[in-house]
Amino acid sequence: FKSVPANQVLDDIYARFPEYSVLNKRKKLVERSTAELAVYTAGYEGLSVDAFLNGLIANGIHQLIDVRMNPIARRFGFHKSTLSRLCGELGISYVHVPQLGIHSSLRQELKDQDDYEELFKQYRRSTLKTETEAIDTVAKLVQDKPSVLVCMEACPDQCHRKHLAKVVAEQTGLEIWHIEAEVVA
């Protein structure tokens, strides 16, 4: 491709992969989709930040609601500042609601699903009962535009966002959809 003009390379890429033109100002071949309003959830475990964000775009998500208490990640791209910046570059709003997260010290000794269930029972009894203002904020956000509740765990059964989503869905009357993306090595 060294001798091929850049415009020709881009035209070839867009012809084969029109979804890559969604945010292009020069040549937009397809419009960005917009999901119906629902309470979407997603976990980034096992994903690259590119795969995760591509999945959100492909699913028509326009707002990421980060429900981690401490938005620090070992995986590149998922630290709050980086994720917020990348979302902004892709036209996805980023909102952090740490009050609805679970402290990392409470997740250290989880060995099996019974341990998770006990943790989530405590979460439902404490955080979901006391953080009503934060829950109201999330409910308003998901009714405004297609939004996704994000945490680390890929499996919703091992993440508090499933329980938060249930409360938000009950408050808004919206359905719950768990977005799953392809895991990359």
CATH code at position 61:
3.40.1010.10
Q: Which amino acid, residue 88?
A: G
Residue 93's H or E segment, with its range, is strand 93-96
Prediction pTM value: 0.86
Q: Tally Cβ neighbours within 10 Å of residue 159.
A: 27
Parent domain of 158: 32-179
Q: Are residues 105 and 18 in the same domain?
A: no
Q: Is 169 helix (H, G, I), strand (E, B) or coil?
A: helix
pLDDT in 10s for each residue of the chain, 185 residues: 578 887 788 777 767 776 666 666 666 556 778 999 999 999 999 999 999 999 999 899 999 999 999 999 988 999 999 999 999 999 999 999 999 999 988 888 888 899 999 999 999 999 999 999 999 999 999 999 999 999 999 999 999 999 999 999 999 999 999 998 765 44
Q: Are residues 157 and 134 in the same domain?
A: yes
